[in-house]
Structure 1
Amino acid sequence: MKKNLIKKTFILFSASLFLLIVFSNLRTYAAASVGQALPTPESGWQRYEELAPGFIFEGNGWQTPTAGSYSGGSEKFTLNSSLHTVKFQFWGTDLRLISYRGGDRQTSIQVNIDGVNYSYSANGQAQVTTLLFEKRNLENKLHSVEVSASNSNVYNLFEFDALDINETGYLVNPKISAPSNLSAKAGDAKVDLSWTASPDKTEYTIKRSTTSAGPYDTIASNVKTPSYSDTSVVNGTTYYYVVTAVSNNGESEFSKEVSATPQGEKQTDSDTENPSQPNPEPSEPAQPTGDRAILVVTMTNGFEKEFDLSMKEVNNFIAWYDAKDAGRGQSYYKIDKHNNNKGPFSSRKDYVIFDKILTFEVSEYSK
């Protein structure tokens, strides 16, 4: 009887613990929706208040009250009846507009993103720091945004409190000149970058990707001079770079993108260049480098994952591993399994977690 009681108690405890974990995770990952109050940005987002450099307010009569419970302590609003517009540019994929909602607020506010029109209403039950508009999954590039409204006699308040964008993006300050004439020179296990110094009193941020047009990882910041040598590269891998100028007033847009593929220096046979040995002994032919390889990743639990990949894919994996080991980049790496063990699926990809990797081995071969 006692054993049965203990068993039942253990089962009830396990079930309760399971439900607690499930609901905790639901709370953790539940994202805010339009209409909810959002006094602070959610995880994965960053907030720019209305006074941040980069916002351009057009039209007369803009005021900046500080007496309400606004995000950051203030907001911008206007009572003027003419057309008013807030313009800005940002680099990223997601944006949210935060402002006050009330019974005397605008019913039709226009949002133009890269020439595409949207709209939202700020009219409704009174609530501060309300998430009024959201646009997700945009292309990861520079976006131009205009938020505008013409005040009416009834609903005559147009406000702008804050902007949230995804944490890997940023608000561009158009008054800061982007670095120009960026160039990249490949070397042995390094890439040397140089550009024309910005006319503004700035520092520079270096961003890199193994894919053209990004997404980019920041590999250096607070760079004082218009040059940088990237030594955390792998020979044979193509890298893509952009540079931004940064000052106390914000960050510029990206420079033009450049690319480079570091290569090892060619080794010469010193015997063939030595005139004192007219008939040198023939050396053994070099082993082929190979255009493919078997990558075997051993996990911390002892399990081995084996992949048949091109050398470019292997080098990209090594570049990700080295970057993550230095504290940069994503915590996981996606490996395409191609035709290996595909089964009935159109494609299969294996996600390898950095912290779970014990060691890996590369065995090159040629087809």
Structure 2
Amino acid sequence: MNKFNRSTLLIVLLTLLTVYSFFSVALAEENLGRWATKQSMTTSRYGLKVVELNGKIYAIGGFETDFLNTVEEYDPATDTWTTKTSMPTGRYLLSLTKVNNKIYAIGGVGGAKSVEEYDSAIDTWTTKASMSTGRNNLFVAEMNNKIYAIGGGASDTPKNLVEEFTLDSLSICNKPTNLKAVAGDKEVGLSWDEVEDADSYIIKRSETEGGPYTIIEEDITGLSYTDRTVDNGTTYYYVVSAVIDSDESDDSNEASATPEGSSSGSGDKAILRITMQNGKINEYDLLMNDVEDFIDWFEDRA
């Protein structure tokens, strides 16, 4: 293709991109200020509460013909609902708040004093310390790792009560950061930054982005782990949590990798593992040519 044709093609492409961008903006502006019907919940109910967490919306509790403990998760990106693990206590007119990537269901008709914690990463509920006074239609707020339950009513009697709930120490442990996943042949190498005073780490895995995750290994004392219980061609999603004095931190950032076999079957790829002086292990998925170049460079340094 000569220079003139290249220039002409570039001008045409830029023109098309400009028209497409204008058309997209026009469509977006046209939809402003309008309601759009989305996928309905699986369970009809009233008196429920909703809360957003990590880009998903959770519809919890409510009343249909009885108190409900139903939990449904809505993904706006796919316009789909997923039924999650039910609350231990069915109730409606409850209150919800989120702290440290966990949801707290507090009070409500049928729930009275109960406080229950939902961990979306592993899709489990944990019963926490109850409020002193049962009530519904109360308001809750979080500040400085404490939850404040304010007002509400019981037996049609309004309350001016304020109670403070201090979260467990596990909610404020530092979580691992900078989790990385490197794919190999039938294995995935993980590495992360150290958490000060951590006794060990827990490795969790899912085949779905965002979880829920399953624990695949515990009591890891280093800063790396190689998962060899994987299949080539499948994408795996990982998080890591730290354990300090038997308390578990929140999960790290999510990292993903898709293990694959050598394209030529002759072993032309390798995992290069470098142990730093601070004990941290970095792993790199490289072609053998790159590995040989690195070895030559390293030997030349010596």
TM-score w.r.t. length of structure 1: 0.34
The higher radius of gyration belongs to 1
Whose RCO is larger (CA < 8 A, sep 6+)? Answer: 1
